[in-house]
C-alpha cells in the first residue's frame, strides 16, 4: 500500500495543477452554482471526468513512449519538464490579467456570449429558476455541456502527456497507474465541487485578486512538478 502512496500523491498534485487555475470554465461553474446547486455539481463532475479521461489516455501511452526512448530518457524528461514549465510560465503571466478581469458577474463565456446569458442548456432566462433546472434532465445537460467545453482545451491534454511520458516506467505497473489516476480524479473533482460550494454560499462576486491567486497556486504546482521531473539533469 505504501508504494502506491507516491503515485497517488503525484496524481493529486497533477489534478490540482490542472484544475485550480480559474479560467472561463471555473467562472461559468461559479455562476451556475449561484443559480442551481445540483446542476453545478453535475457540471463539476463533467470537468473532472475530462481531466481523468485525458490523464488515462496519457498514462496508457506514456510508458509505451518512454520504453521506446530509453537511450535518451533523461532528455525526454527534460523536454517534458520544459513543456510543463512553459505551461506554468504562461499561466502565471496570465494571472496578471486575471487580477484585472471583471468578476464572474461580467465574465464572458467560452463561446463569446456573456457568461450569465441563457444558453441552449438553460431551462429559462439567465438567472431564472424553473422546475426542472436542478432535476436529472437539467443536471445531465449541464454535465455534457461542461464535458464538451473542457474537452476542447488542448492545454489539458498536453499537460498530462508531458507529465506521464516523463514519468515513464514509474506508471508502467497497473496498480501504480491506477493510483495515479485515482489521485487525479479525486483531486480534480474535489476542487470543482469546492468551487460549487463557494458559488452556492457566496452568491455574489469572486474578486479578481482571489482568482489571480488560484492561477498562481495552480501553476506553481505545475512548475514544481516540472522541476521534480527534470532532476537529475542529463
Q: Which residues, 6+ apart, have CB-to-CB distance to 207 below 8 Å? A: 103
Distance separating alpha carbons of residues 134 and 177, to the nearest angstrom: 35
| pLDDT at 200 (0 to 100) | 84
* 101-119: b (≥16 Cβ within 10 Å) or e: beebeebbbbeeeebbeee
Q: What's the pLDDT score for residue 146?
A: 92
Q: What is the pLDDT of residue 111?
A: 36
**Spatial distance between the Cα atoms of 155 and 18, rounded to a whole number of angstroms:** 9
* pLDDT score recorded for residue 226: 78
Q: Is 9 exposed, middle or buried (0-12, 13-18, 19+ CB in 10 A)?
A: middle
Cα angle, residue 84 at apex, residues 81 and 85 outer, rounded to 5°: 85
The pLDDT assigned to 206 comes to: 64
Instruction: Look at residue 125 in the predicted model and tell me its pLDDT.
Output: 35
All residue ranges of the chain with pLDDT < 50 are: 103-132
**Alpha-carbon distance 85 to 91, whole Å?**
10
CB-based contacts of 193, cutoff 8 Å, min separation 6: 41, 44
- State the pLDDT at residue 96: 67
Residues 6+ apart with CB under 8 A from 13: 183, 187, 221, 224, 225
Amino acid at each position: 500500500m505504501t508504494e502506491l502512496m507516491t503515485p497517488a500523491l503525484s496524481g493529486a498534485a497533477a489534478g490540482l495543477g490542472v484544475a485550480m487555475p480559474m479560467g472561463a470554465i471555473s467562472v461559468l461553474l461559479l455562476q451556475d452554482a449561484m443559480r442551481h446547486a445540483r446542476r453545478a455539481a453535475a457540471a463539476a463532475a463533467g470537468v473532472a471526468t475530462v481531466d481523468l479521461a485525458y490523464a488515462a489516455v496519457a498514462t496508457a501511452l506514456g510508458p509505451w513512449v518512454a520504453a521506446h526512448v530509453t537511450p535518451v530518457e533523461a532528455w525526454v524528461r527534460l523536454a517534458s519538464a520544459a513543456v510543463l514549465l512553459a505551461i506554468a510560465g504562461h499561466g502565471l503571466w496570465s494571472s496578471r490579467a486575471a487580477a484585472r478581469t471583471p468578476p464572474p458577474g461580467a465574465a464572458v463565456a467560452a463561446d463569446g456570449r456573456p457568461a450569465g446569458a441563457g444558453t441552449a442548456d438553460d431551462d429559462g432566462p439567465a438567472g431564472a429558476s424553473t422546475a426542472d433546472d436542478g432535476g436529472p434532465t437539467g443536471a445531465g445537460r449541464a454535465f455534457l455541456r461542461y464535458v464538451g467545453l473542457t474537452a476542447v482545451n488542448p492545454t489539458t491534454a498536453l499537460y498530462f502527456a508531458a507529465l506521464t511520458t516523463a514519468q515513464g516506467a514509474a506508471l508502467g505497473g497497473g496498480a501504480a497507474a491506477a493510483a495515479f489516476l485515482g489521485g487525479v480524479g479525486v483531486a480534480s473533482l474535489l476542487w470543482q465541487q469546492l468551487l460549487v460550494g463557494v458559488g452556492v454560499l457566496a452568491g455574489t462576486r469572486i474578486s479578481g485578486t482571489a482568482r489571480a491567486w488560484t492561477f498562481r497556486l495552480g501553476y506553481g504546482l505545475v512548475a514544481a512538478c516540472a522541476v521534480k521531473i527534470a532532476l537529475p539533469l542529463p
